[in-house]
Amino acid sequence: MKIALQEGLLPGESLAEKLDFAESLNIEGLEVGGRSRLYDHVEQYEQALAGRSIKIASICGQETFDWLDPDPGKRANSLAETRRQLEACGHFQAVGQIVPPIFGGPRIPDLSPLQDAISLEKALLVELVKDLAAHAASHGTLLLLEPLNRYEQHLLRRQADGVEIIERTGSPQGVALLSDFFHMHIEETDTPAAFRQAGKHVAHVHMADNTRMQPGTGDIDWRAGLQALKDIGFSGYLAYECGIEGEPKDALTKSVQFVRETIAQLD
């Protein structure tokens, strides 16, 4: 398993300074924020990464989350943005783009007794994911569906919800699951078991402790969770998506050491 840090967590005034610090910790991956529109800054990132061992691991999110909006124009705009992000991921040979398909409650009206809003959303999401997964695969990357928690999203909240959508698409090569320890700590009754049940679908992992601060500062059982990931054969990136408690350089250094020591102790 490899460690990635989100660009926004890294101390430093410039991208070069941020990458210098990441490499001082032997970090393998950089997760770029989706609002930075990586596809508009390809040359800047190529220059910053030239000669370095660190690579872009993923893009997290985008500017719009309107896949499931009833307005066809909003859907089309949001889907077009996703395709461009996936193309940028492919260019940098990143694992993929992380997208929660919706925030908040349903936007599609309840059409019971024909279908309720959730059934309609899932049916639409399956068709959209088929198309986006094919686009991702054509660029050698993945669309990474992210289940959130009940306070942020109603549709995909547990790992099984994400797996359901993936399997209903026929499990094409271009789609997988983003599993987030923080959201799982809220929604799953047994995080290690949820990892084991999701199995091969887990392609990228977000890390934050139960307080949403850096790993090792809360009460998540990291050894049990990381052991489950090892047991399912996960060898990808563990990407920090969290707040930082304490002075950033010191706090990140201690947390990364904690994660690496925990991995080294796994069976």
Out of 17-21, 30-34, 112-116, least confident range = 112-116
CB 174, CB 235: distance < 8 Å:
no
Please state whether beta strands 175-180 and 202-207 pair in parallel, antiparallel, or not at all (unpaired).
parallel
Given a cut of 90, whether residue 51 has pLDDT beyond it is yes
Q: Is 245 an active-site residue?
A: no
Under the banding of pLDDT at 50, 70 and 90, the label for residue 76 is very high
Q: Cβ of 49: how many Cβ atoms within 10 Å? A: 17
Q: Is 241 an active-site residue?
A: yes
The C-alpha torsion from 118 through 123 and 124 to 128, rounded to 10°, is: 130
> Per the structure block, which two tokens stand in for 147?
């289940």
CATH code of the domain made up of 2-264: 3.20.20.150
For the chain, give the secondary structure using H, E and C.
Answer: CEEEEEHHHCCCCCHHHHHHHHHHCCCCEEEEEHHHCHHHCHHHHHHHHCCCCCEEEEEECCCCCCCCCCCHHHHHHHHHHHHHHHHHHHHCCCCEEEECCCCECCCCCCECCCECHHHHHHHHHHHHHHHHHHHHHHCCCEEEECCCCCCCECCCCCHHHHHHHHHHCCCCCCEEEEEEHHHHHHHCCCHHHHHHHHHHHEEEEEECCCCCCCCCCCCCCHHHHHHHHHHCCCCCEEEECCCCCCCHHHHHHHHHHHHHHHHHCCC
Under the banding of pLDDT at 50, 70 and 90, the label for residue 171 is confident
pLDDT tens column, 79-106: 999 999 999 999 999 999 999 999 999 9
Find all residues with CB under 8 Å of 227, minimum gap 6, and list them: 192, 266, 267
- Residue 166's pLDDT is what? 97
Report d(CA 132, CA 175) in Å as an integer.
8
Single out the catalytic residue among 241, 245, 247, 261. 241
Report d(CA 31, CA 95) in Å as an integer.
10
**pTM of the shown model:** 0.96
> Per the structure block, which two tokens stand in for 246?
């304490």
Which residue from 219, 190, 201, 187 is spatially nearest to 145, judged by alpha carbons?
201
Single out the catalytic residue among 146, 167, 245, 247. 146
Tell me which amino acid residue 239 is: A
The mean predicted confidence, pLDDT, of the chain is: 97
- Residue 126's pLDDT is what? 98
